[in-house]
Structure 1
């Protein structure tokens, strides 16, 4: 062979860090706080809805390409009830194989070779790969840690001037993520308004990954950027059932957008999975109609787990950045005498029997993320308590 088998656009992407660290967790018997999946199943009534669909033969064969009508209607109703966004379920809603396919289909549809895509780093690792597959050029704008002068860590913030300076005549779209993985930042209404004004001024599209929309704490507000002036017709909003209902293995995601943008994304999506998750689509349609008490209970449970893990990490010597959303907490390992997140995470299973993820994998500017490590708190309380007890060995 005169050429390597892998397409050169993907040459920089090897095995994901999640696969590496999960394998390390298995081989060492460590508690896996690296990959973001819950260790309990979602609501019983939603599981029973999937069982009914299977027994009744709904979705066992190919579902409609855009998604089953029941789910598309439920998604449209959810966006209307929660955010005042009206979407036609027939022309403005598209069901995908999780948010990962929604991201891939959106970028493959909307980005051409040479287009620049702005992404807030640190960013979910599939963003970079999808931009590369589309032939685009990723342009990172870095969220920077801002320490709380009162102590106890702080939060990550967006420099709006840096974002504006990143826009060039070649910029096609902004790839947004709020609530933000891995930092836990929830962009404020004021920040999103400034981003929206920039997008309108420079005629940019926005692909907005909002899969953690219901996982916000301490009174933080999730604001879909599509709800802001001028953004309804230039935004593809991405949602997912996996994070909200703890069924990550079902891979049910979706996009909502104008008819023109939805048709574009559907054109790419039809050549990826075409369709997926038939019976589960009916179950998620029912999940989207769960009462407010479900979401309130979910937030309260995760906030308590965030506080348990965050306090334990602080006691173990980490500097902890308190997340406003998602189910991840970012820590600074320099107080523990290390500035290399990769080395730290690879040694942590032997040192403490816990697995985490080095944030540097989410950066183009690796040095900016080098001393930061991410832990997931979407686990049972007893598992988190055991992890905290193990991490005390580092002290």
Structure 2
């Protein structure tokens, strides 16, 4: 019998999604996969209820329903401080996962090189494999997760077609400083490189840190494909509404790729989500405060445990050092912790190109009751450390 594609040899199943199944197997509190355990805003639920009866229920325009793109353009123009044209600068996708793949396929040919910061969200490497590109890894070294300028320049000297920038970063919670972004922009200009941004945590940033949209830097809009989604901002990870924002010459190609990948995102969900895109600025300020409270609640338990961790600057993950427990294999530790402690995490090695096995990632996008329950279970780790 003929063999399956050779590209399947280069990546396995998602470790994050596997750990959700492990959590279900052992009845553990799932702090692995990054989704909330609370409902979306009430206004959004009411909008969904209305749309479920009134429609639309058939295909929207493949690159996004006009009213959705118009609302998205207004919102992102405000936050990105850029004039976003809903007809020329947007393609709506099935989540940011598709947005990233569309961006990669729009600009990369087989054999092209792509810079990826390590640690990275696991999909990025799969994206390079599926597009036939070759990743160039640049380390972000814990606990600060800063990069070395000389190492980044050497990566650019290999003439990459693109750099992938996750900001705020998953899994590290790093928010790239303006100075770091300006350096990346300088190299992108010097070496004529595209930048693909993943900015799904754009509204979850903790003071004094500030999120800067890479496309808003001088001269960068023309070489940037900005990818994001509504999943994290409005607590609707299951709705799968994402988008790419880019200049017209890139969006024209992205729309072709998207059309033949998925045809289009769900029409009724786009209609319902217009309500959220029209929320006032107060919503985003409150969102940050809510997540800061969740972060502070959860970190109190880590402090009580005496474990080292990286204080998140943005997003809703914390990387925790498990060195005191003596495990050489973070996968085995996470399996053990799910079974014996009742809390599921993601082994950090799934995010690193380097042979690093001392970190696990925990997600605090949960109700206070969930965080307190998980925290009490985690305190049992004192018996083993």
Give me the TM-score of the superposition, normalised by structure 1.
Answer: 0.94
Contact 1:192 1:225 (8 Å CA) reproduced: yes
* 2:65 is equivalent to residue 76 of structure 1: no
The residue aligned with 2:324 is: 335
- Measured against aligned partners, the alpha-carbon deviations of 1:54-78 in whole angstroms (never above 9, x if no partner) come to 32222x1000011011111111111
Q: Which residue of 2 aligns with 1:362?
A: 351
- How far apart are residue 316 of structure 1 and its match? 2.0
- Report how many aligned residue pairs link the two structures: 382
2:377 maps to 1:387 = no
CA distance in 2, matches of 1:71, 1:164: 40
- Partners in 1 of 2:328 and 2:291 — Cα distance? 29
Match of 1:30 among 24, 28, 31: 28
The unaligned stretches of length 5 or more in structure 2 are: none
Partner of 2:154: 165
The 1-side partners of 2:157 and 2:61 are apart by: 39
Partner of residue 46 from structure 2, selected from 45, 48, 53: 48
Do the aligned residues in 2 keep the contact of 1:333 with 1:339 (CA within 8 Å)?
no
**Structure 1 residues 339, 317: closer, same or farther in 2, change over 3 A?**
farther
Q: Distance in 2 between matches of 1:363 and 1:8?
A: 23
What aligned pairs does 1:95-174 form with structure 2 within 5 A after superposition? 95-146=92-143, 155-174=144-163
Taking a change above 3 Å as real, the CA distance of residues 302 and 102 of structure 1, as seen in their structure-2 partners, is same
Aligned counterparts of 2:42 and 2:2: Cα–Cα separation in 1: 55
TM-fit CA distance, 1:19: 2.7
Structure 1, unaligned runs of 5 or more: 147-154
Contact 2:115–2:135 (Cα < 8 Å) also in 1? yes
Whole-angstrom CA distance in 2 between matches of 1:19 and 1:295: 28
Alignment of 1:269-288 (within 5 A): 269-288=258-277
Correspondence 1:261-300 to 2 at 5 A: 261-300=250-289
For 1:222 and 1:349, locate their aligned partners in 2 and report how far apart those are by CA, in whole Å.
34
The answer to whether the Cα contact below 8 Å between 2:10 and 2:129 also exists between their aligned partners in 1 is: no
On the 8 A contact 1:356/1:375 being kept in 2, the answer is yes
Distance (whole Å) between structure 2 residues aligned to residue 392 and residue 316 of structure 1 = 6
* 8 Å Cα contact 2:159/2:191 also seen in 1: no
Structure 1 SS opposite 2:238: helix
Separation in 1, partners of 2:264, 2:250: 19
Structure 1 residue runs of 4 or more that deviate by more than 6 Å after TM superposition: none
Question: Which deviations, in whole Å up to 9, do the C-alpha atoms of 1:256-293 show, x marking residues without a partner?
Answer: 10001111111211111111221111222221111222
